[in-house]
Amino acid sequence: MGRVSRHDRIATGLIEWGSGSLRDLPWRRTNNAWHVLVSEVMLQQTSVTRVLPKYENFIAEFPTPGHMANASLGDALALWSGLGYPRRCRNLRETAIVLARDFDGVMPSTLDELLALPGIGQYTARAILAFAHRQDVAVVDVNVSRVLSRLEGEPLKARALQQLADQLVPEGLGWDWNQVMMDFGARHCTVRSPQCTACPVKKQCKWHGVGDDPAPLSAGASKPQAKFEGSDRQARGRAMRAVNDGVATQKAIVRAMNLEHDVERATKLLEALVNEGLLLRSGARFTLP
Protein backbone atom coordinates (compact mmCIF):
# COMPACT_ATOMS: atom_id res chain seq x y z
CA MET A 1 0.00 0.00 0.00
CA GLY A 2 1.38 3.45 -0.96
CA ARG A 3 2.17 6.14 1.53
CA VAL A 4 -0.80 8.34 2.48
CA SER A 5 -0.07 11.95 1.54
CA ARG A 6 -0.53 14.94 3.82
CA HIS A 7 -3.35 16.18 1.58
CA ASP A 8 -5.13 12.84 1.86
CA ARG A 9 -4.83 12.95 5.65
CA ILE A 10 -6.28 16.45 5.72
CA ALA A 11 -9.18 15.41 3.49
CA THR A 12 -9.91 12.29 5.52
CA GLY A 13 -9.73 14.10 8.86
CA LEU A 14 -12.06 16.91 7.82
CA ILE A 15 -14.56 14.69 6.02
CA GLU A 16 -14.78 12.55 9.17
CA TRP A 17 -15.23 15.69 11.28
CA GLY A 18 -18.12 16.84 9.11
CA SER A 19 -19.82 13.47 8.78
CA GLY A 20 -23.32 13.79 10.15
CA SER A 21 -22.70 17.19 11.77
CA LEU A 22 -23.16 19.71 8.96
CA ARG A 23 -25.63 22.51 9.57
CA ASP A 24 -29.06 21.77 8.11
CA LEU A 25 -29.67 24.68 5.74
CA PRO A 26 -32.41 24.81 3.08
CA TRP A 27 -30.02 25.54 0.22
CA ARG A 28 -28.12 22.38 1.14
CA ARG A 29 -31.22 20.30 0.44
CA THR A 30 -31.43 21.18 -3.24
CA ASN A 31 -29.54 20.77 -6.49
CA ASN A 32 -31.58 23.55 -8.09
CA ALA A 33 -28.93 25.87 -9.51
CA TRP A 34 -31.17 28.95 -9.37
CA HIS A 35 -31.93 28.34 -5.69
CA VAL A 36 -28.23 27.85 -4.99
CA LEU A 37 -27.44 31.13 -6.76
CA VAL A 38 -30.08 32.99 -4.75
CA SER A 39 -28.64 31.66 -1.49
CA GLU A 40 -25.05 32.49 -2.44
CA VAL A 41 -25.93 36.05 -3.44
CA MET A 42 -27.90 36.57 -0.23
CA LEU A 43 -25.09 35.19 1.92
CA GLN A 44 -22.52 37.67 0.61
CA GLN A 45 -21.60 39.83 3.63
CA THR A 46 -24.78 38.72 5.41
CA SER A 47 -25.21 36.19 8.23
CA VAL A 48 -27.02 32.88 7.85
CA THR A 49 -29.57 33.84 10.50
CA ARG A 50 -30.62 36.95 8.54
CA VAL A 51 -30.72 35.09 5.24
CA LEU A 52 -32.83 32.10 6.31
CA PRO A 53 -36.30 33.74 6.40
CA LYS A 54 -35.58 35.92 3.37
CA TYR A 55 -34.41 32.97 1.30
CA GLU A 56 -37.58 30.96 1.90
CA ASN A 57 -39.82 33.90 0.99
CA PHE A 58 -37.74 34.83 -2.05
CA ILE A 59 -37.76 31.31 -3.48
CA ALA A 60 -41.51 31.03 -2.90
CA GLU A 61 -42.05 34.22 -4.90
CA PHE A 62 -39.37 33.62 -7.55
CA PRO A 63 -38.93 29.83 -7.87
CA THR A 64 -37.33 30.16 -11.32
CA PRO A 65 -35.27 32.79 -13.17
CA GLY A 66 -38.30 33.42 -15.37
CA HIS A 67 -40.43 34.41 -12.39
CA MET A 68 -37.91 37.02 -11.31
CA ALA A 69 -37.23 38.21 -14.85
CA ASN A 70 -40.95 38.89 -15.34
CA ALA A 71 -41.29 40.78 -12.06
CA SER A 72 -40.32 44.39 -11.54
CA LEU A 73 -37.10 45.23 -9.75
CA GLY A 74 -39.26 47.02 -7.21
CA ASP A 75 -41.10 43.81 -6.33
CA ALA A 76 -37.77 42.03 -5.88
CA LEU A 77 -36.33 44.85 -3.78
CA ALA A 78 -39.41 44.82 -1.55
CA LEU A 79 -38.74 41.16 -0.71
CA TRP A 80 -35.02 41.86 -0.34
CA SER A 81 -35.58 44.66 2.16
CA GLY A 82 -33.62 44.06 5.36
CA LEU A 83 -30.74 42.15 3.77
CA GLY A 84 -28.80 45.25 2.75
CA TYR A 85 -26.62 45.76 -0.32
CA PRO A 86 -29.60 46.09 -2.72
CA ARG A 87 -27.22 46.11 -5.72
CA ARG A 88 -26.98 42.36 -5.16
CA CYS A 89 -30.71 42.07 -5.80
CA ARG A 90 -30.47 44.21 -8.93
CA ASN A 91 -27.61 42.05 -10.26
CA LEU A 92 -29.53 38.87 -9.43
CA ARG A 93 -32.51 40.09 -11.46
CA GLU A 94 -30.23 41.00 -14.36
CA THR A 95 -28.86 37.45 -14.25
CA ALA A 96 -32.42 36.09 -14.16
CA ILE A 97 -33.26 38.07 -17.29
CA VAL A 98 -30.23 36.66 -19.14
CA LEU A 99 -31.00 33.11 -18.00
CA ALA A 100 -34.62 33.35 -19.08
CA ARG A 101 -33.77 34.99 -22.42
CA ASP A 102 -30.63 33.12 -23.48
CA PHE A 103 -30.61 29.81 -21.57
CA ASP A 104 -34.30 28.84 -21.35
CA GLY A 105 -34.04 29.38 -17.61
CA VAL A 106 -31.34 26.71 -17.20
CA MET A 107 -28.16 27.62 -15.34
CA PRO A 108 -24.96 27.05 -17.35
CA SER A 109 -22.59 24.36 -16.10
CA THR A 110 -19.21 25.73 -17.19
CA LEU A 111 -17.06 28.25 -15.37
CA ASP A 112 -16.69 30.57 -18.36
CA GLU A 113 -20.43 30.72 -19.04
CA LEU A 114 -21.20 31.41 -15.40
CA LEU A 115 -18.57 34.15 -15.16
CA ALA A 116 -20.19 35.89 -18.15
CA LEU A 117 -23.45 36.34 -16.21
CA PRO A 118 -24.08 39.75 -14.55
CA GLY A 119 -22.53 40.09 -11.11
CA ILE A 120 -21.18 36.52 -10.91
CA GLY A 121 -17.51 36.19 -9.94
CA GLN A 122 -15.16 33.31 -9.30
CA TYR A 123 -16.57 32.40 -5.90
CA THR A 124 -20.24 32.35 -6.91
CA ALA A 125 -19.54 30.53 -10.17
CA ARG A 126 -17.60 27.81 -8.39
CA ALA A 127 -20.29 27.53 -5.72
CA ILE A 128 -22.86 26.82 -8.43
CA LEU A 129 -20.60 24.20 -10.02
CA ALA A 130 -19.94 22.48 -6.69
CA PHE A 131 -23.32 22.74 -4.96
CA ALA A 132 -25.74 22.52 -7.89
CA HIS A 133 -23.86 20.68 -10.62
CA ARG A 134 -21.86 18.55 -8.11
CA GLN A 135 -18.54 19.12 -9.86
CA ASP A 136 -15.23 18.55 -8.07
CA VAL A 137 -14.19 22.18 -7.84
CA ALA A 138 -13.13 24.07 -4.72
CA VAL A 139 -15.05 27.03 -3.35
CA VAL A 140 -12.90 29.47 -1.38
CA ASP A 141 -14.77 31.80 0.95
CA VAL A 142 -13.48 33.66 3.99
CA ASN A 143 -13.74 30.53 6.18
CA VAL A 144 -11.91 28.32 3.69
CA SER A 145 -9.19 30.94 3.23
CA ARG A 146 -8.62 31.00 6.99
CA VAL A 147 -8.42 27.22 7.30
CA LEU A 148 -6.05 26.77 4.38
CA SER A 149 -3.63 29.51 5.37
CA ARG A 150 -3.46 28.14 8.92
CA LEU A 151 -2.86 24.62 7.62
CA GLU A 152 0.04 25.94 5.54
CA GLY A 153 1.32 28.18 8.34
CA GLU A 154 1.71 31.21 6.09
CA PRO A 155 -0.36 33.85 4.32
CA LEU A 156 -1.49 32.73 0.88
CA LYS A 157 -2.27 34.80 -2.21
CA ALA A 158 -5.44 34.19 -4.20
CA ARG A 159 -3.92 31.91 -6.84
CA ALA A 160 -2.09 29.77 -4.28
CA LEU A 161 -5.25 29.50 -2.18
CA GLN A 162 -7.32 28.33 -5.14
CA GLN A 163 -4.66 25.86 -6.29
CA LEU A 164 -4.36 24.33 -2.83
CA ALA A 165 -8.13 24.20 -2.41
CA ASP A 166 -8.53 22.45 -5.76
CA GLN A 167 -5.82 19.91 -4.88
CA LEU A 168 -7.57 18.98 -1.65
CA VAL A 169 -10.99 18.16 -3.13
CA PRO A 170 -11.51 14.37 -2.80
CA GLU A 171 -12.60 12.82 -6.08
CA GLY A 172 -16.38 12.53 -6.28
CA LEU A 173 -16.91 14.44 -3.03
CA GLY A 174 -16.88 18.06 -4.22
CA TRP A 175 -20.23 18.92 -2.65
CA ASP A 176 -19.45 17.29 0.69
CA TRP A 177 -15.91 18.65 0.86
CA ASN A 178 -16.85 22.28 0.25
CA GLN A 179 -19.68 22.18 2.78
CA VAL A 180 -17.36 20.63 5.36
CA MET A 181 -14.64 23.21 4.77
CA MET A 182 -17.06 26.11 5.19
CA ASP A 183 -18.59 24.65 8.34
CA PHE A 184 -15.19 23.79 9.79
CA GLY A 185 -14.05 27.38 9.40
CA ALA A 186 -17.33 28.79 10.70
CA ARG A 187 -17.63 26.49 13.74
CA HIS A 188 -14.21 25.07 14.61
CA CYS A 189 -11.30 26.96 13.05
CA THR A 190 -12.88 30.30 13.91
CA VAL A 191 -11.43 33.80 13.71
CA ARG A 192 -10.90 34.44 17.41
CA SER A 193 -11.19 31.07 19.13
CA PRO A 194 -9.86 28.22 16.96
CA GLN A 195 -10.19 24.89 18.74
CA CYS A 196 -6.63 23.80 18.03
CA THR A 197 -6.34 21.19 20.76
CA ALA A 198 -9.37 19.31 19.42
CA CYS A 199 -8.54 19.82 15.76
CA PRO A 200 -8.96 16.69 13.60
CA VAL A 201 -6.03 17.75 11.41
CA LYS A 202 -3.72 19.20 14.06
CA LYS A 203 -0.89 16.85 13.03
CA GLN A 204 -1.07 18.21 9.49
CA CYS A 205 -1.42 21.86 10.54
CA LYS A 206 1.73 23.97 10.35
CA TRP A 207 0.42 26.80 12.53
CA HIS A 208 -0.94 24.92 15.60
CA GLY A 209 -2.30 28.16 17.02
CA VAL A 210 1.21 29.28 17.97
CA GLY A 211 2.71 32.57 16.86
CA ASP A 212 1.26 35.08 14.42
CA ASP A 213 -1.94 33.93 12.74
CA PRO A 214 -1.32 33.82 8.96
CA ALA A 215 -5.03 34.05 8.13
CA PRO A 216 -5.56 37.85 8.36
CA LEU A 217 -2.87 38.47 5.72
CA SER A 218 -4.20 35.88 3.26
CA ALA A 219 -6.33 36.65 0.22
CA GLY A 220 -10.02 36.47 0.96
CA ALA A 221 -9.56 37.16 4.66
CA SER A 222 -12.32 39.11 6.33
CA LYS A 223 -11.56 42.79 6.70
CA PRO A 224 -12.94 44.97 9.49
CA GLN A 225 -15.94 46.84 8.12
CA ALA A 226 -16.20 50.56 8.51
CA LYS A 227 -18.46 51.69 11.35
CA PHE A 228 -22.08 51.13 10.30
CA GLU A 229 -23.69 53.63 12.66
CA GLY A 230 -23.87 56.96 10.87
CA SER A 231 -22.47 55.55 7.62
CA ASP A 232 -23.69 56.17 4.08
CA ARG A 233 -24.62 52.48 3.96
CA GLN A 234 -26.93 52.90 6.93
CA ALA A 235 -28.51 56.01 5.43
CA ARG A 236 -29.03 54.30 2.06
CA GLY A 237 -30.67 51.36 3.78
CA ARG A 238 -33.01 53.64 5.68
CA ALA A 239 -33.96 55.40 2.46
CA MET A 240 -34.73 52.10 0.71
CA ARG A 241 -36.81 50.85 3.65
CA ALA A 242 -38.72 54.13 3.83
CA VAL A 243 -39.65 54.03 0.15
CA ASN A 244 -40.57 50.36 0.46
CA ASP A 245 -42.90 51.34 3.33
CA GLY A 246 -44.61 53.94 1.14
CA VAL A 247 -42.70 57.09 2.06
CA ALA A 248 -42.49 59.06 -1.18
CA THR A 249 -41.41 62.67 -0.68
CA GLN A 250 -37.78 63.67 -0.49
CA LYS A 251 -38.32 65.60 2.72
CA ALA A 252 -39.85 62.57 4.46
CA ILE A 253 -37.17 60.22 3.15
CA VAL A 254 -34.42 62.54 4.37
CA ARG A 255 -36.10 62.52 7.77
CA ALA A 256 -36.19 58.71 7.71
CA MET A 257 -32.47 58.75 6.89
CA ASN A 258 -31.86 60.88 10.03
CA LEU A 259 -30.08 63.41 7.84
CA GLU A 260 -32.22 66.53 8.30
CA HIS A 261 -29.03 68.19 9.54
CA ASP A 262 -27.19 67.32 6.32
CA VAL A 263 -29.63 67.61 3.43
CA GLU A 264 -26.80 67.95 0.91
CA ARG A 265 -25.40 64.53 1.86
CA ALA A 266 -28.86 62.97 1.84
CA THR A 267 -29.57 64.41 -1.61
CA LYS A 268 -26.34 62.95 -3.01
CA LEU A 269 -27.15 59.54 -1.56
CA LEU A 270 -30.64 59.62 -3.08
CA GLU A 271 -29.19 60.68 -6.43
CA ALA A 272 -26.80 57.72 -6.27
CA LEU A 273 -29.67 55.31 -5.58
CA VAL A 274 -31.53 56.70 -8.58
CA ASN A 275 -28.44 56.47 -10.80
CA GLU A 276 -27.94 52.84 -9.74
CA GLY A 277 -31.50 52.02 -10.74
CA LEU A 278 -32.54 51.20 -7.19
CA LEU A 279 -35.04 54.08 -6.88
CA LEU A 280 -37.17 55.99 -9.39
CA ARG A 281 -37.75 59.73 -9.05
CA SER A 282 -40.57 61.80 -10.45
CA GLY A 283 -40.19 65.39 -9.36
CA ALA A 284 -39.71 65.30 -5.60
CA ARG A 285 -41.30 61.87 -5.17
CA PHE A 286 -39.55 58.51 -5.07
CA THR A 287 -40.73 54.94 -5.69
CA LEU A 288 -39.19 51.53 -6.11
CA PRO A 289 -38.43 50.73 -9.76
Please check the confidence at residue 201 and state whether its pLDDT lies above 90.
Answer: yes
pLDDT digits (tens, 9 = 90+) for 12-29: 999 999 987 788 899 999
Which member of 40, 154, 171, 276 is catalytic? 40
Strand partners, 286: 281
pLDDT for the residue numbered 224? 59
pLDDT for the residue numbered 203? 94
Q: Which of 47, 58, 63, 52 is nearest to 24 (CA)?
A: 52
pLDDT digits (tens, 9 = 90+) for 90-129: 999 999 999 999 999 999 999 999 999 998 999 999 999 9
Please check the confidence at residue 68 and state whether its pLDDT lies above 50.
Answer: yes
- Listed in order, the ranges of the chain carrying CATH 1.10.10 are 232-287
pLDDT for the residue numbered 45? 82
pLDDT for the residue numbered 226? 65
pLDDT for the residue numbered 232? 86
Q: Which of 213, 223, 103 is nearest to 153 (CA)?
A: 213
SS3 of residue 282 by DSSP: strand
pLDDT for the residue numbered 280? 92
Residue with the larger pLDDT of the pair 72 and 224: 72
User: What's the CATH number for 142-217?
Assistant: 1.10.1670.10
Using CA atoms, how far apart are residues 40 and 91, in angstroms rounded to an integer? Answer: 13
pLDDT for the residue numbered 22? 84
CATH class of 232-287: mainly alpha
- Listed in order, the ranges of the chain carrying CATH 1.10.1670.10 are 142-217
pLDDT for the residue numbered 1? 46
Q: Which of 68, 122, 77 is nearest to 99 (CA)?
A: 68
- Read off the pLDDT band of 223 (50, 70, 90): low
Q: Which of 2, 16, 71 is nearest to 188 (CA)?
A: 16
Using CA atoms, how far apart are residues 82 and 216, in angstroms rounded to an integer? Answer: 29
Please check the confidence at residue 82 and state whether its pLDDT lies above 90.
Answer: no
Q: How far is CA 69 from CA 64, 65, 77, 97, 100, in A?
A: 9, 6, 13, 5, 7
pLDDT for the residue numbered 234? 87
C-beta neighbour count of 72 within 10 angstroms: 11
What does the pLDDT average to over 40-51? 90
Q: Which of 91, 207, 95, 79 is nearest to 147 (CA)?
A: 207
The reply to whether 276 belongs to the active site is no
- Listed in order, the ranges of the chain carrying CATH 1.10.340.30 are 32-131
pLDDT for the residue numbered 2? 54
Element (H, E) at 285: strand 285-287
pTM (predicted TM-score): 0.86
Please check the confidence at residue 242 and state whether its pLDDT lies above 60.
Answer: yes
What does the pLDDT average to over 162-188? 94
Using CA atoms, how far apart are residues 229 and 68, in angstroms rounded to an integer? Answer: 32
User: CATH fold of 32-131, please?
Assistant: Endonuclease III; domain 1 (1.10.340)
Please check the confidence at residue 153 and state whether its pLDDT lies above 90.
Answer: yes
